[in-house]
């Protein structure tokens, strides 16, 4: 028996005349049992034949039943869809817990030190705030219809400081002041305890070890503000009161009013 490998190496077999071991030549040039070796004799015994690779047709893989194949594909799609749904459900559950929501937020007690009219916004104020740093910070706030400058000056408020700066009517707002509104359109600012120091952290009750990230993007922030509400005159995040080290953060609006 003779055949040729793809690299044109000619392979043939013979039987050892001494022990009947089947020798594969030239991969084996001697019988491993009795050390038989007779290269010339092997070449003379067999006529070498070239394998016809041009006309070689490989054995086709059996085709799967189309109906069964469609069923298997559908099972794989259903499995992947269920995995994605479970993943989204788990992420949604985790995302609404106060510790995950607030661990990225830099929320502080600030004090308004100057109030100016926005040059082009009829409903806007430019507020300079002290937030516990060496210099003040300017924010743009849409509260002109609801508060006079006298009502705002020296007032302590709650602000968030790691949102991306936003340009509002041509002026950059480097932070954001929290406020709520009820169904009638009344706006209420968050009221920290008067004894709270300027720059002190605001956090959900029972979670004082907040570690803010460098920046919270717009998409993340939308998820966070969805769980800010007023209940019994207290600002809450996911039903957990917001506090400083001195006490709870208040908001004089009806229950269920959103805070943003």
pLDDT, tens digit, 9 for 90 and up, residues 176-193: 999 999 999 999 999 999
**Pairwise CA distance, residues 213 & 107, whole Å:** 11
Q: How many residues does the chain have?
A: 260
Return the domain boundaries, the chain.
2-45, 100-248
How open is the CA angle 105-106-108, to the nearest 5 degrees?
130
25 or 40, which is more confident: 25
Buried b (16+ CB within 10 A) or exposed e, 66-105: eeeeeeeeeeeeeeeeeeeeeeeeeeeeeeebbeebbebb
48, β-bridge pairs: none
**Pairwise CA distance, residues 125 & 138, whole Å:** 10
- In sign, the C-alpha dihedral spanning 117, 258, 242, 188 is positive
**Pairwise CA distance, residues 32 & 20, whole Å:** 11
Is residue 109 a contact partner of residue 198, using CB atoms and an 8 Å limit?
yes
pLDDT digit string, tens, across residues 186-240: 999 999 999 999 999 999 898 877 777 778 877 777 777 888 899 999 999 888 8
Query: What is the band of 118 on the pLDDT scale with cuts at 50, 70, 90?
Result: very high
pTM check: above 0.75: no
CATH dotted code for 100-248: 2.40.50.140
What pLDDT is attached to residue 37?
47
**Pairwise CA distance, residues 72 & 74, whole Å:** 5
Q: Which of 168, 171, 143, 172 is nearest to 157 (CA)?
A: 143
């Amino acid at each position: 028996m003779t055949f040729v490998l793809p690299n044109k190496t000619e392979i043939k077999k013979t039987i050892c005349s001494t022990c009947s071991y089947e020798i594969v030549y030239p991969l084996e040039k001697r019988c491993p049992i009795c050390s038989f070796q007779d290269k010339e004799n092997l070449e003379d015994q067999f006529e070498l034949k070239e394998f016809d690779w041009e006309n070689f047709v490989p054995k086709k893989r059996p085709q799967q039943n189309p109906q069964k194949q469609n069923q298997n594909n559908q099972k794989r799609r259903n499995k992947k869809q269920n995995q994605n749904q479970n993943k989204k459900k788990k992420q949604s559950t985790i995302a609404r817990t106060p510790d995950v929501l607030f661990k990225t937020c830099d929320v502080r007690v600030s004090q308004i030190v100057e109030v100016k009219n926005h040059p082009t916004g009829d409903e806007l104020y430019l507020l300079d705030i002290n937030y516990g740093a060496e210099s003040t910070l300017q924010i743009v706030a849409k509260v002109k219809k609801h508060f006079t400058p006298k009502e705002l000056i020296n007032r302590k408020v709650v602000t968030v400081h790691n949102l991306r700066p936003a340009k509002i009517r041509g002026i950059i707002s480097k932070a954001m002041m929290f406020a709520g509104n009820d169904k009638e359109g009344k706006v209420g600012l968050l009221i920290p305890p008067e004894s709270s120091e300027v720059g002190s952290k605001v956090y959900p009750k029972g979670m004082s070890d907040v570690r803010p990230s460098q920046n919270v993007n717009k998409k993340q922030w939308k998820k966070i503000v969805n769980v800010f509400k007023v209940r019994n005159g207290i600002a809450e995040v996911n039903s957990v009161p917001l506090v400083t080290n001195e006490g709870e953060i208040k908001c004089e609006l009806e229950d269920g009013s959103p805070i943003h």
